[in-house]
Amino acid sequence: MSALDLLAKLTTTPGVPGREHRIRQLILDEIGAIFDEISVDPLGSIIAVKKPTPKKGKAAKEPLRVMLAAHMDQIGFLVSHIDEKGFLYLNPVGGFDTRNLFARMVTVCPNPNDPSKDLIGILNPSGKPIHVASPEERKRIPTVREFMVDLGIDKKQVDKKVKIGDMVVINAPVHHLGDLMVSQAMDNRAACWIAIEACRKLKNHSCEIHCVFTVQEEVGLRGATASSHTVQPDIGIGIDTTLAVDTPGVPAHEACTRLGDGAAITVMDSSAIGDYDLIETFDRLGKKHKIKTQRSILAAGGTDTGGLQRTAGGCRAMTLSCPTRYIHTVTETIHTGDIKACRDLLAAYLESAA
């Protein structure tokens, strides 16, 4: 299996906030040989520890504790209502733009652990099709709560198979377009991949790495906040996707990042301002190891860095981001060169941190 095959598998394994069972198991299966200690905290975040392996001499008695936080949840829905005809209504967990939700196929997961129970459904807003809608009706953008899922089976069967609270995710395949890769859950399985592959390629490092695959980021950084209390890191690196709005119709000064220009060192977003010295260090390491980097500022939106930076007395923190086009749609798109740059830059940092 090539490294990017793992990314494809990560992005197509369902796991919405609070229902991360399957993606957690996939990551646990993958990381056994990479880390020294692995545990799952009460909320469901994976805390994987890699002990120092310094090149020369003994490890420091109290090595620098570096926490990586990559959220493993994706935006999706929980079933909120089953109507008298067997149509499902949904409650969002994470922020979809409803303009991207018309005429989609979805997967309903009645058992978070068992894919054999999954059902395929059609997602559409309730209401009239364009042929019979009035001009006013055509203009209005429905809210998430007006969308419904058609499972194609009768009400009796629906009641037998589906219950309130079941996870629903968009069903969309992975595509490779030149150097780009398209999938619905690059946010944030791209970061899970970066954390796994950076730790896999480490040779020697003096810090103690606490690699946390967090839960429930998309509903308010909940997993990262809890797990950073446990880890009490000296340094926190949030890893996430960030906007690449380098596409037509957006002025250059609002692009945030550009696909293909390298790993994004996030200076600030609405949840955290990155530690000045850490940002400088990542910049310097990029130059030293000839890894492409770009700086970015995200005007609105946050990451796990906002949760871990303020926990347990606080820590020095920043966000490493993978530039992504069309975030929070089902066509989240990354450049394979950028995601590899993120992996290499993170590994270079972990090998130098002490």
CB-nearer residue toward Zn ion: 188 or 294: 188
- For Zn ion, which stretch binds (CB under 5 A), given 13-21, 188-196, 244-252, 316-324? 188-196
| Max intra-chain CA distance, the chain | 77
Considering 20, 197, 217, 351, which one is annotated as catalytic? 217
84 catalytic residue (yes or no): no
Binding to Zn ion, residues 235-264 (CB under 5 A): 240
> What minimum distance in Å lies between the beta carbon of 327 and Zn ion?
8
Q: Which residues of 105-118 are buried (b: 16+ CB within 10 A; e: fewer)?
A: ebbbbbebeeeeeb
Please, which residue, 20 or 187, has the CB nearer to Zn ion?
187
Q: CA-to-CA distance for 315 and 232, rounded, in angstroms?
A: 8
Distance in angstroms (rounded) separating the CA atoms of residues 13 and 18: 14
**Of 62, 25, 23, nearest in space to 232 by CA:** 62
How many residues bind Zn ion (CB under 5 A)? The answer is 3
Q: Which of helix, strand or coil describes residue 187? A: helix
Cβ-based burial of 61 (10 A; exposed 0-12, middle 13-18, buried ≥19) = exposed
| CA dist., res. 28 & res. 287, Å (int) | 34
- Distance of alpha carbon 75 from alpha carbon 329, whole angstroms: 9
316-324 and 263-268 as β-strands: parallel, antiparallel, unpaired?
antiparallel
**Minimal distance in Å, beta carbon 126 to Zn ion?**
29
In angstroms, what is the minimal distance from the CB of 325 to Zn ion?
A: 14
Alpha-carbon span 115 to 127, nearest angstrom: 31
Residue span 201-240 as binding mask against Zn ion, x where in contact by CB under 5 A, dash where not: ---------------------------------------x
3-state secondary structure (DSSP) of residue 327: coil
**Least distance in Å: CB of 225 to Zn ion?**
15
Among 20, 73, 166, 187, indicate the residue that binds Zn ion (CB under 5 A): 187
Both tokens assigned to 263: 């790993």
Residue with CB nearest Zn ion? Answer: 188
Between 79 and 239, CB nearer to Zn ion: 239
Nearer to Zn ion, 88 or 93 (CB): 93
Q: Which is nearer to Zn ion, 188 or 311 (by Cβ)?
A: 188
Residue 47: closest CA among 35, 56, 38? 38
Q: Which residues pair with 320 in a beta bridge?
A: 239, 265
Helix H or strand E encompassing 159? helix 155-161
Return d(Cα 242, Cα 230) in angstroms, integer. 27
As measured in angstroms, the least distance from the Cβ of 298 to Zn ion is: 11
Backbone angles phi, psi at 327, to 5 degrees: -65, 145
Among 188, 271, 294, 321, binds Zn ion (CB under 5 A): 188
- Is 125 strand, coil or helix? strand
Binding segment for Zn ion among 48-56, 101-109, 183-191, 229-237 (CB under 5 A)? 183-191
Q: How far is the CB of 187 from Zn ion (least distance, A)?
A: 4
Residues 120-159 within binding reach of Zn ion (CB under 5 A): none
Nearer to Zn ion, 304 or 351 (CB): 304
Q: How far is the CB of 324 from Zn ion (least distance, A)?
A: 9
Q: What count of residues does the chain have?
A: 354
CB 197 within 8 A of CB 344: no
Nearer to Zn ion, 188 or 225 (CB): 188
If binding is defined by CB under 5 A, does position 20 make contact with Zn ion?
no
Residues 87-116 binding Zn ion (CB under 5 A) are none
Would you tell me which residues interact with Zn ion (CB under 5 A)? Answer: 187-188, 240
Q: Which residues are catalytic?
A: 217
